[in-house]
Amino acid sequence: MDRNSGSGILGFDRRRDQSWRGRGRNSKPVQTSTTNSVGYTWIKMTHQPRTKAWRVPSSQPKIQLEQLTNDIFYEILSHLPVEDIVRLRQVCKWLQEVTRQRAVWSSVYEKSNLLRPEGPTPTQTAQDLENLLVHFTKIQRKWSEHSEVQPVSRKSIKCALPYIYGVAMVSGRYLIVGAGNEISWYDLDQDSEGEWLDVPVAKYDVSTPGAGPIAMQFLSAQANPDGEGPDVAYVSFFVDHCMKVLKVKLLPPDTSVETVAEFGPLILMPSWDRLQNDYLLVRSGLSLVPEIEEDSFILRLFHIPTRREYGFVLDENVLSHASYWNCMITTTHLIMLFPQPHRHETDVVIFNLPTGSSIDSSSVPQLAVTHTAVYPCSIWGAECVHETTSSNDSGIFEVRVRILAICHEGYECHIPIFLEYLDIIIPSVGTVKFLKHSSALLRGVRPGTMEKVLTTSCSSITFALSYSQSAVNPIDGQIITMHVVMPGTSTDEGTIATKRLTLPGEKDALALVGFDGFRGRICFNAPYANIPRIDIWSLI
């Protein structure tokens, strides 16, 4: 038989009938056959289209990506990670244009679970929000990817005196340094050659003209006073028997300083102060006049915007054990924590802060205790990370103050120390309750060390830095630990992820004075180094 004729033993002409060849995924071969009288069988291959249940009928129009409304597409983008949105620009010019819209980045900012400040603000552009979110993504990755964290760079400020009277970090960008009779402001974002920041943005002389040099003490700072933004701060300090408060605009070149309040004269020198939520709390204990006994104990609360001063009515039994205590000033309450190591408990004393209607009243300015409670552990350091207010059907208001606390279950040298994440629940009527979400062991830290915890938080996550220093060996006994705290839900109690922070090549005794998780900066004071200095370490 002729091979080129195309006919074969099966009676199949290959040249004319090519239906047996593959015709794609949407067709399938079908075999039919006939047999003649001699016994030969002819087989013919044909194709029939495949039927698929999911196939869209050709009569229905397909939706193109460009046909989606902006609101729908922006909503889709807002659920993507920041790096995926940036990568989408490589697909086409249309996506490149869409992913540069402010509405996209504004929505991403609002829905993000990254640690970020409140926002976005009306003045922030699309590029500003994108840069911030990229920065926050890098910081969160730095905290979560490695078992041990090391900063990548350091800037330092030389101290003219071997001891400075105050250092405060504001908004993670500005550093306020008080020494002698002078306060200096440094912009940590400014470019500088080498690691030293030599030129401050501004200086302020706190001495009285003609009175000679005077030492300023107890410097504190609070960003965003009265809601004026992160580039404005209250700065408080003690000088010439008075507590003075400045309002400082820190953003160059419009830096300015204004004295907004002066409280005094004080008959007792302050031994402790706290500036928070537009309130200044001062504890005085050292006599400035002969008529007052040395061991007197006076607490004074100042509301800076209204220049009002308030006193306290405290239980003498509490004050008798007040050699060490700490407090938190929330938007609604003043919470005092008095650890009682002999009982392994903490006395919690709570005051309602004056409301807007009562703060300007002419009533006697004495704040009375509204709630007392006992927490079954000694709290030696605490920071407020979140506060919420709710009410039930009976009209009873409830304030939940979420805190991060350093807790001892005892004071013996072998007793471990924990970082606890808990709620203080303060009802308008009834007793205070505590709800512990999670805890983490601070490895290597023992009672008898100087302990401190600093936090940066938003509603979705908290970054914290705990620091302890042995009183016996302040160099080798330094332990710096970083914590990522995830809030709990109705089914999850929350978690605290802990890792060690190491400072490359650091051999000097340090004191932790500032931490900002948004920008990834940590500030230490090294007053006893060969060159007394302040170090600012950056994580990225």
Q: What is the pLDDT of residue 193?
A: 77
Q: What is the pLDDT of residue 266?
A: 72
pLDDT, averaged in runs of 10, over the chain (540 residues):
43 42 49 55 54 54 71 86 92 88 92 88 90 92 79 86 76 88 88 83 77 68 89 89 89 86 74 87 60 56 88 68 77 90 87 69 70 91 90 84 86 75 92 91 69 83 81 58 75 77 77 89 84 88
d(CA 369, CA 358): 16
d(CA 412, CA 68): 66
Task: Kindly report, residue by residue over 345-382, the tens digit of the pLDDT.
Answer: 899 999 998 875 555 455 547 788 899 999 998 898 89
Q: What is the pLDDT of residue 164?
A: 64
Q: What is the pLDDT of residue 293?
A: 46
Q: Which of 166, 187, 186 is nearest to 178 (CA)?
A: 166
Q: What is the pLDDT of residue 414?
A: 64
Q: What is the pLDDT of residue 218?
A: 83
d(CA 192, CA 194): 6
d(CA 374, CA 390): 23
d(CA 280, CA 247): 13
Cβ atoms within 10 Å of 314's Cβ, excluding its own: 18
d(CA 280, CA 63): 60
β-bridge mates for residue 31, sequence order: 45
β-bridge mates for residue 245, sequence order: 236, 261
The number of residues in the chain equals 540
Q: What is the pLDDT of residue 335?
A: 95
Q: What is the pLDDT of residue 292?
A: 42
Task: Kindly report, residue by residue over 328-348, the tens digit of the pLDDT.
Answer: 999 999 999 988 878 888 999
